[in-house]
Amino acid sequence: MGRTTWTDVPTTLRNDIETLLGGAVLHAASQAGGYSPGGADRVTTATGRRAFVKTLSRSRNADGFALHEQEAHVVAQLPPTVRAPRPIGTLRETVDGDDWIALVFEDVDGGHPGAAGDGSDVTAVLDALDTLPLATGRLAELPRVADELADEFGAWDRMLAEGLPATVPAHVAAAASKFGRAARNAAALIDGEHLAHVDCRADNLLVDADGLVWVVDWPWASVGAHWLDPLTHLLDVLVRGEDADVERHLAEHPVFAGLSADTVDAVLAALAALAGTFLEKGARPAVPNMPTLRDFQRLEGVTAAEWLLRRWDGRGR
């Protein structure tokens, strides 16, 4: 089953969205990318107003519905210094016994970074992530990423105890014990006091005509280390096969400034833990209505593990 489209949205909810926008929607273009079965439409009204609309029914994906609700809560708290599309409104409606939700945002006219494949967008992405502030006020009430990932960062030890799944390649499996040791304190290492997006793949980012990067899709927002999002974006750059020197960005970009050698090793420990988590999940059955997610998790796990192995080899460890 494919992604929800604008015409799949109940007429009454579409009418309410049009009322919110102040005009009838004349054009709606469904956006590709991501793993949610919900709707993601760029719309244009009769008055020329443009907006981005995310829609989902509870029956289609109850977990996704809850994530939409959480995202609505998060974006309402984001300060204007965060380069994220401004929310216009959130609508909820029950139609024929099924709950629907619509998140309506100002549209950012742009495309996902990395299209050129040459790493030319990486600095702009890191610049945008460097704007994420200390989590104060209501933002400080968000979950702490260290708590949220503490269990998942034990993946290597679980896999070693239960037997490594077939999804773990031989060259990664050979270093599994080393990954496990590196990952054991990873949860504490990613703790911090900054707002963290926690899902900084290219499909959750937009580059506008001025080359500025906007961060979208905020349901996983947490409180944690300021370098965590930039680091996971560098991993995504490798996953997508961009021709980019991620080590240079890690060494030179201001978002990583002040990191000692020990702190960089801590970053690597977090990557090892993430690798274990993704590979463990990648061995599980497909997620309903999200059939490509497991393949992505396998690829991300292997890529994270291989990056860490290269770092260790470079240091003769």
The confidence band for 253, taking pLDDT boundaries of 50, 70 and 90, is very high
CA–CA dist 299, 247 (Å, integer): 20
Neighbours of 96 (CB within 10 A): 8
Asked if 205 and 274 sit in the same domain, the reply is yes
Bridging pattern class, strands 50-57 and 98-106: antiparallel
- Of 312, 291, 274, 16, nearest to 153 by C-alpha is 274
Taking 90 as the threshold, does the pLDDT of residue 32 lie above it?
no
Neighbours of 47 (CB within 10 A): 10
Note down the domain range covering 226: 111-314
Q: What angle do CA 272, 299, 177 make, to 5 degrees?
A: 30
77, 107, 137 — which closes off a domain? 107
Looking at residue 268, what is its pLDDT? 61
- Provide the whole-model pTM: 0.88
pLDDT digits (tens, 9 = 90+) for 35-59: 567 889 999 999 999 999 999 999 9
Asked if 117 and 258 sit in the same domain, the reply is yes
pLDDT digits (tens, 9 = 90+) for 225-243: 999 999 999 999 999 999 9
Are the C-beta atoms of 230 and 255 separated by less than 8 Å?
Answer: yes
Asked if 120 and 103 sit in the same domain, the reply is no
Which of the pair, 236 or 298, is modelled with greater confidence? Answer: 236
Which CATH number characterizes residue 259's domain?
A: 3.90.1200
The tally of domains found in the chain comes to 2
Q: 95 has which bridge partners?
A: 98
Asked if 145 and 223 sit in the same domain, the reply is yes
**Residue 1 is assigned to a structural domain of this protein:** no
Asked if 241 and 149 sit in the same domain, the reply is yes
